[in-house]
Amino acid sequence: MRARLAAAEGLRFGVASGLLGATLAGMTAGNIPRLIETLKTQAGDEKRLACAEAFKIARDLDVPLAEVGRTCDELGIKMMQCQLGCF
């Protein structure tokens, strides 16, 4: 819980520290279309994605985990097998 709050505080105050090494500064306009396409592909027709896969996508694309969660919400993708309650 404290780690999530610390990460949220960092984002709110512009510290730009995301989970798994991803940073807001590392995000580019090119990351978002790649994120959307990756999430759609991995979630499939059922629109379901395992939490561990979401963590991997965030790390691979250098996107904050919060952005992966927000994008999943916007795409109607449901998280399964949640590990930490991040989504």
The answer to the question of residue 85 being in a domain is: no
**What is the number of structural domains in the chain?**
1
Asked if residue 63 belongs to a domain, the reply is: yes
Q: What pLDDT, on the 0 to 100 scale, is given for residue 72?
A: 96
Q: Any long-range contacts for 66-72 (C-beta under 8 Å, 24+ apart)?
A: 66/7, 66/8, 66/11, 66/18, 66/19, 67/18, 67/27, 67/35, 68/35, 68/39, 71/32, 71/35, 71/36, 71/39, 72/39, 72/43
Domain of 37 in residue numbering reads as: 2-80
- Is residue 27 within 8 A of residue 67, CB to CB? The reply is yes
What confidence tens digit (pLDDT) does each residue in 12-37 have? Answer: 333 333 444 444 545 566 788 999 99
- pTM above threshold 0.75: no
87 within domain boundaries: no
Helix residue ranges, H only, 13-64? 31-43, 51-61
**pLDDT tens digits along 42-85:** 999 999 999 999 999 999 999 999 999 999 999 999 999 887 66
